[in-house]
Amino acid sequence: MSKVKTLILRTPGTNCDVETSYAFELAGSETELVHINKLLAKPSLLSEFQIMAFPGGFGYGDDLGAGRVLANEVRLKLGEKISRFHESGGLIIGICNGFQALVKTGILPGPMKDGQKITLTDNNSGRFECRWTYLSVNPFSTCVFTQGLDRLYLPVAHGEGKLLGSPEVINKLNSAVYYTDKDGKRNAPYPANPAGTLMDIAGIADESGRIFALMPHPERFVRGSQHPRWTGEGLKKEGDGLKIFTNAVKWAREV
Amino acid sequence: MHRIEVSLKPEWPDPKGNGVCHDIQDLGITSVSEVRVIDVYWLEGNLSDSEVLTISGELLSDQIIQTFKYDANCPLAEADGFSAIEVTYNAGVTDPVQETILKAISDLGIKGITAARTAKRYLLKGEISADELKTIGNKLLINPIVQHVVTSSSNPFPPNPEYTFKLKKIDLLAEKLKDNMASLGKEYSLSHQELSVIYEHYLKLGRAPTDAELETLAQTWSEHCCHKTFKAMLDYDGQIINNLLKQTIAKATAELNKPWCLSVFVDNSGVIEFNDEWGVCFKAETHNHPSAVEPYGGAATGIGGVIRDILGTGLAAKPIANTDVFCFGPPDLAEDKLPPGVLHPRRVFKGVRSGVADYGNRMGIPTVNGAVLFDERYTANPLVYCGTIGLIPKKYALPGKQSAGDLVVLIGGRTGRDGIHGVTFASGELNDRSTELSFTAVQIGNAIVEKRMLDTLLQARDRELFVRITDCGGGGLSSAVGEMAESTGVKIYLDKVPLKYSGLTYSEIWISESQERMLLAVNKEKLGEILALFESEGVEASVIGEFTSDRHLKLFYQDHQVADLQMNFLHNGRPQLELRATHHKTRHPEADFDCPKDFETELKNILSHWNVCSREWIIRQYDHEVQGGSVLKAMVGAENDGPGDAAVIRPVLGSKKAVVISNGINPSYADVDAYNMAASAIDEALRQIIAVGGNLERVALLDNFSWGNASRPESLGDLVHACQACHDLSLVFGTPFISGKDSLNNEFRYEDKLITIPHTLLISAIGVMEDGDKAISMDFKKSGNLIYIVGKTAEELGGSHYFKNHSFIGNRAPAVNAKRAKENMQALSCATAGGLVAACHDLSEGGLGVTAAEMAFSGKLGAHIRLADVPLAEKIEREDYILFSESNSRFLVEVAPKHQAEFEKLMSGCDFGLVGEVMSEPSLEITGRDGKEILLNTPVSELKEAWQRPMRW
């Protein structure tokens, strides 16, 4: 059987592409870093891949709001291709800036034709924050990436991570991961939910469960010594984030 | 012209506005109850109303939470109940967002747009007086260097002047006859001696120099570019020192002759071997003067510049980590102590921090550690050190070489009037009019332009599409081209340089310090391929000239030759400075206060000192984990908030091999003794590497001198001493210097006063660690474990924080016995490598007391420490001196009882003492010399609070 292939999308300002690629490789996928201009020139490239990743960073500097310029470019120039990729069974993951872009294209929560329904905006603190967060996985979510997972510990690093939208939309989201306190309880005060996001939502999936995006960075915790307290709590064999990638690769392989 | 205002819907809170509101309250203004920030956009071009609506709705605003107002009549009327201040960039200052807006509008399929500008409109709620409004504007929202307040008569798109070529020559003979040489020297920042040499040179040539030639000489011969003080002929109390750098720092490196040093002192950064395949390089720079007048832009371009140094090392390295060290005036400085024309330290601090973070975060380079120091003397002359570490294939570690016929290719950002005369500005002293006069010397950075350049450059390197690279930094093209072409010669066509706007003279193009530009030498056969690569990712690249073989620097503008300089004169013609240095010793009053009864308050006061307290506020705002290499972070311990020592990262993701990065800096000791100040900085940098489990096997150092004024003999004498310390310790520790930098004019003059910064030497260290999984952190791990101190304590409190808190300086700064320190460090490294050490932290500011407190509260555990068991280098009567002495080369080490015998055996022959135990009861207990009296018994939560409170902003 041929190997699963993951396309890691690069744009001006993407900066987590290398470690995201490394995480997918650890999970057993082949990866290719593809610049958006290359994909725009040849959108059919996408059909060679089973997984597409929108990594973290500051696409186009986040000059007009996080992910906005990239989102417009993707929506207007690649929207149809991406819809087809998804409909034919492809998996899509967005991390941090990738989440912001997916939300602003309308790909999440989807469908894209309905346009943008929610947003990710300035943290309550008004500043960029890099810190580790406790997460719990929603066991009822159909999200392919989080199947079988329960609790996670992952870092965030963002200035615009507060998820907002109308209550009707928020209540219907296919939420996949929530910010919690150390003991896994939701509704924990700052900084457990670092941006002050509605309903503690850290990541969501589309209806199919095959498009998933989150603010925390699973690719930054794939080996034990990335944990902030490994020197005190012991070196784990692998990081919590790796399972998200192995889930995706496994799913893509089995389909 | 179209004007669009984008604001949050009123039902959503405005975090950015809240931040401004908070800052206004910090100014002591309480009348403002709410702030809303509105984004303003001006679009120029032939756009229909429906197109502007599309742009506003789909691009400029977020429909979920924002609304926009589009009114062709440019309303500036004040909103109901709010006062408004609208701020935009000055004409000629790059609006960093313009380029993105134009790109994004073209994505929407809209063609007619020609230009875009942005502004911020602040709406302030409350009964605000006109005076208060002015204060808020001047002290917080507007920096007149780069911004102004928008009024109804403002024109966001002023026409740029056209430039018609006219060759400018400077008739030196006539100037001399007019007795005008002094003012000419001033205009070009050339000394009398330098100008005389130039005069003689042109007399021989029989012609007058052009302005471009004089500018080139001025830039190349500036302190910033050629370090003329370090290369001067010194008369040091009768001893002649020809080139201080060569006689001290570089000499030690040459003597050590380490085979793993791949490139030292010859390139934009120094390179050492990491493993068989890779090298790591390291460079730290200062960006002091620009940061003093425009903290955000100055600091952002400081980090941008040092990143380009790494990109411009060898045949291009990949930046993998940043480390930043800042020196500011105290954040709580009283307004009436602020010299005229100077920004408040708090504003400088906040601006610098966000400038560095915004640039570093956007570049995707983790800021892994750093330091911040405060002293009133830094108020007018803040220091901003930015350091970057790079990863480079060993085969590309050395600088490349071009041949005649190779092309000069300029890539990256466009050239504007920004940053003109930056290096001569940086090489002079600041005064109360600096902010008015220096507006062109400040650049505005654009991290994404640099990021694009980085991404494509590394691809071009791996495909071997260029033969040499250097960065355009201080002095712009004039320095970069002049340096690069020294061995060959070059022709440059200045009209081929892409400009941000029209109206620049050929000289301005030549010396502009616009950011995000690099210079490449490209073989003609590879030109097509490299241009295509850059174009594919949107990086502008232009051929601006060709290397020759005549060793002349020739400049052309529209077919006119505007300069012809001999490389030999340009690089070797500068007359060597002759300076006098003298040894002196300042005596301070001896400390005179009784040993306090209340040790708890003393300890808390040091923990709360600006120089010691928690830096979490800063650190959290840096992305310190991007690139995925993190092993030991800046904040460690049970709650991820303890003060880590050196940073450890794994630059090659699949390999356990790690690099260790640390800084040492101790300007307080310079008030006592410059030699010991420098020695202490080196010791501190090395201590931190040892503390995290590193060793001295492969450690390289950087020196970075910031002096007040090196032209005074006493001050220069101190510089000589500091350099000698660098030489001596480098040799004994076996740790070579691989690169360095200096900024020797950090004085501020106003009225009849002169403020001089303390002599400040930043030592940065980089080491290689075989296995990152062997790293250890500083937090106590387990109750019942033993606590050892390594190294001896002496009564060395000169310049200490304990004395500072009692308003004394003292006369005995901590010295370093390097030979003994090295033995202790090596033994300790063996113990950590053998897995015997559970935690280790070095003793620095605040000595044993602070170190024990930090290890305890970081581990959420208690500790018992016995002063009676602390090994002393001499008899010390006072217990407060033992507890707070800042003697160098000391560590506090946690060892499990089961490793006691093995640890003590490994350390036998070293200076160490078993001074205590880790306790489950979370308080710090310290007993005195008699072994009984409890000097202090305080809950660690209180100590932590004292340490966290000051900078909990």
Q: Distance between CA atoms of B555 and B545, rounded to whole angstroms?
A: 9
Residues in B closer than 8 angstroms to A37, CB to CB, are 536-538
Q: Distance between CA atoms of A206 and A132, rounded to whole angstroms?
A: 25
H/E/C letters for each residue in chain A? CCCCEEEEEECCCECCHHHHHHHHHHCCCEEEEEEHHHHHHCHHHHHHCCEEEECCECHHHHECECCHHHHHHHHHHHHHHHHHHHHCCCEEEEECHHHHHHHHHCCCCCCHHHCCCCEEECCCCCCCEEEEEEEEECCCCCCHHHCCCCEEEEEEEECCCEEECCHHHHHHCEEEEEEECCCCCCCCCCCCCCCCCHHHEEEEECCCCCEEEECCCHHHCCCHHHCCCHHHHCCCCCCCCHHHHHHHHHHHHHC
3-state class of B738 per DSSP? strand
Q: Which of A23, A220, A232 sits opposite B781 (nearest CB)?
A: A232
Instruction: Please say if the pLDDT value at position B175 is more than 90.
Output: no
Structure tokens at A230: 């490994």
Detail the residues of B annotated as belonging to a binding site for Mg(2+).
285, 309, 471
Structure tokens at B902: 């093995």
Detail the residues of B annotated as belonging to a binding site.
283, 285, 308-309, 443, 471, 513-515, 703, 740, 743
Band (pLDDT 50/70/90 cuts) for residue A39 is: very high
Helix H segments across B91-136? Answer: 98-107, 130-136
**Which are the contacts of B577, defined by CB distance < 8 A and separation ≥ 6?**
B193, B228, B229, B231, B232, B233
Q: What's the pLDDT at B18?
A: 94
Residues in A closer than 8 angstroms to B16, CB to CB, are 122, 126
Residues in B closer than 8 angstroms to A226, CB to CB, are 625, 628, 630-631
Instruction: Please say if the pLDDT value at position B615 is more than 90.
Output: yes
pLDDT top residue among B151 and B701? B701
Residues in A closer than 8 angstroms to B619, CB to CB, are 130
Do A12 and B538 count as a contact with CB atoms less than 8 A apart?
yes
Do A58 and B773 count as a contact with CB atoms less than 8 A apart?
no
Band (pLDDT 50/70/90 cuts) for residue B282 is: very high
Residues in B closer than 8 angstroms to A73, CB to CB, are 104, 107
Q: Which of residues 107-146 of B touch A (CB under 8 A)?
A: 107-109
Q: Which residue of A has its CA nearest to B56?
A: A64
Conformational region of residue B846, where left means phi above 0, alpha means psi within -120 to 50, and beta covers everything else? left
Query: What is the interface size between A and B, counted as CB pairs within 8 Å?
Result: 174
Q: Which of residues 90-119 of A touch B (CB under 8 A)?
A: 104, 116-119
Amino acid letter, residue B86: E
Q: Distance between CA atoms of B514 and B308, rounded to whole angstroms?
A: 13
User: Is-contact B679 B722, C-beta < 8 A?
Assistant: no
User: Is-contact A15 B626, C-beta < 8 A?
Assistant: yes
Instruction: Please say if the pLDDT value at position B887 is more than 70.
Output: yes
- pLDDT tens for B291-300 read 888 899 889 9
pLDDT top residue among B177 and A188? A188
Residue A130 annotated among the catalytic residues of the structure: no
User: Is-contact B294 B733, C-beta < 8 A?
Assistant: no
Q: What's the pLDDT at B742?
A: 92
Q: Which of residues 174-203 of A touch B (CB under 8 A)?
A: none
Residue with token string 């209180």: B942
- pLDDT tens for A105-137 read 999 999 999 999 999 999 999 999 999 999 999
- pLDDT tens for A161-196 read 999 999 999 999 999 999 999 999 999 999 999 999
The dihedral of CA A216, A220, A221, A226: what is its sign? negative
Q: Distance between CA atoms of B700 and B686, rounded to whole angstroms?
A: 10
Q: Which of residues 332-361 of B touch A (CB under 8 A)?
A: 357, 361
Q: Distance between CA atoms of B222 and B218, rounded to whole angstroms?
A: 6
Residue of A16, A73, A86, A96 with catalytic role: A96
B901 touches chain A (CB under 8 A): no
User: Is-contact B513 B475, C-beta < 8 A?
Assistant: yes
Q: What's the pLDDT at B341?
A: 86
Buried b (16+ CB within 10 A) or exposed e, A130-147: bbbbbbbbbeebebbbbb
The dihedral of CA A36, A37, A40, A43: what is its sign? negative
- pLDDT tens for B623-679 read 999 999 999 999 999 999 999 999 999 999 999 999 999 999 999 999 999 999 999
Q: What's the pLDDT at B432?
A: 55
Q: Which residues pair with B69 in a beta bridge?
A: B5
Do A16 and B364 count as a contact with CB atoms less than 8 A apart?
yes
Helix, strand, coil % in chain B, rounded to nearest 5: 35, 25, 40
Query: What letter does residue B802 receive in the DSSP assignment?
Result: H
Detail the residues of B annotated as belonging to a binding site for substrate.
308, 443, 513-515, 743
Active site residues of B: 224, 287
Is beta strand A211-214 parallel, antiparallel or unpaired with respect to A91-95? Answer: parallel
Helix H segments across B845-930? Answer: 847-859, 879-884, 900-906
Q: Which of A13, A64, A219 sits opposite B104 (nearest CB)?
A: A64
User: Is-contact B386 B302, C-beta < 8 A?
Assistant: yes
The CB density around residue B179, as the number of other CB atoms within 10 Å, is 8
Q: Which residue of B has its CA nearest to A59?
A: B448
Do A13 and B60 count as a contact with CB atoms less than 8 A apart?
no
Band (pLDDT 50/70/90 cuts) for residue B81 is: confident
Band (pLDDT 50/70/90 cuts) for residue B435 is: very low
- pLDDT tens for B672-711 read 999 999 999 999 999 999 999 999 999 999 999 999 988 8
Residue closest to B245 by CA, chosen among B779, B838, B581, B720: B720
The dihedral of CA B256, B257, B259, B264: what is its sign? positive
pTM as predicted: 0.95
Mean pLDDT of chain A: 96
Structure tokens at B289: 């003067």
Q: Distance between CA atoms of B121 and B130, rounded to whole angstroms?
A: 17
Conformational region of residue B731, where left means phi above 0, alpha means psi within -120 to 50, and beta covers everything else? alpha
Q: Which residues pair with B282 in a beta bridge?
A: B270, B389
Q: Which of A38, A63, A126 sits opposite B536 (nearest CB)?
A: A38
Structure tokens at B514: 């616009």
Q: What's the pLDDT at B82?
A: 86
3-state class of B476 per DSSP? helix
Strands across the sheet containing B786-790: B839-842, B891-895, B786-790, B912-919, B862-866, B923-927, B934-939
Residues in A closer than 8 angstroms to B97, CB to CB, are 61, 63-64
The answer, yes or no, to whether the previous bond of A191 is cis (omega within 30 of 0) is: yes
- In angstroms, what separates the C-alpha of A167 from chain B's closest C-alpha? 12
Do A225 and B626 count as a contact with CB atoms less than 8 A apart?
no
Do B58 and A72 count as a contact with CB atoms less than 8 A apart?
yes
Instruction: Please say if the pLDDT value at position B437 is more than 50.
Output: no
A42 touches chain B (CB under 8 A): no
User: Is-contact B512 B504, C-beta < 8 A?
Assistant: yes
Q: What's the pLDDT at B517?
A: 96
Helix H segments across B795-846? Answer: 801-805, 818-833
- Give the distance, in angstroms, between the CA of residue B427 and the centroid of all CA atoms in the same chain: 16
Q: What's the pLDDT at B438?
A: 45
Helix H segments across B207-264? Answer: 211-220, 223-226, 244-247, 249-256
Do B447 and A61 count as a contact with CB atoms less than 8 A apart?
yes
Detail the residues of B annotated as belonging to a binding site for ATP.
283, 703, 740
A217 touches chain B (CB under 8 A): yes
Structure tokens at B783: 């109750």
Instruction: Please say if the pLDDT value at position A215 is more than 90.
Output: yes
Q: What's the pLDDT at B426?
A: 56
| Complete DSSP assignment for B685-734 | HHHHHHHTT--STTEEEEEEEE-SBTTSHHHHHHHHHHHHHHHHHHHHHT
Q: Distance between CA atoms of B740 and B703, rounded to whole angstroms?
A: 5
Q: Distance between CA atoms of B22 and B877, rounded to whole angstroms?
A: 48
Structure tokens at B677: 């100040």
Reported ipTM: the value is 0.96
Strands across the sheet containing B468-471: B468-471, B517-522, B407-412, B541-547, B490-493, B552-557, B560-566
The answer, yes or no, to whether the previous bond of B340 is cis (omega within 30 of 0) is: no
Q: What's the pLDDT at B441?
A: 53
Q: What's the pLDDT at B430?
A: 60
Q: What's the pLDDT at A137?
A: 98
Query: What letter does residue B137 receive in the DSSP assignment?
Result: I
Do B16 and A126 count as a contact with CB atoms less than 8 A apart?
yes
Do A19 and B363 count as a contact with CB atoms less than 8 A apart?
no
Residue with token string 């090298």: B279
Strands (E), B126-183: 147-149
Is beta strand B923-927 parallel, antiparallel or unpaired with respect to B934-939? Answer: antiparallel
Amino acid letter, residue B899: H
Q: What's the pLDDT at B440?
A: 56
- pLDDT tens for B340-365 read 989 999 999 999 999 999 999 999 99
User: Is-contact B288 B381, C-beta < 8 A?
Assistant: yes
Do B60 and A64 count as a contact with CB atoms less than 8 A apart?
yes
Q: Which of residues 838-877 of B touch A (CB under 8 A)?
A: 859
Band (pLDDT 50/70/90 cuts) for residue B187 is: confident
Band (pLDDT 50/70/90 cuts) for residue A71 is: very high
Mean pLDDT of B797-819: 97
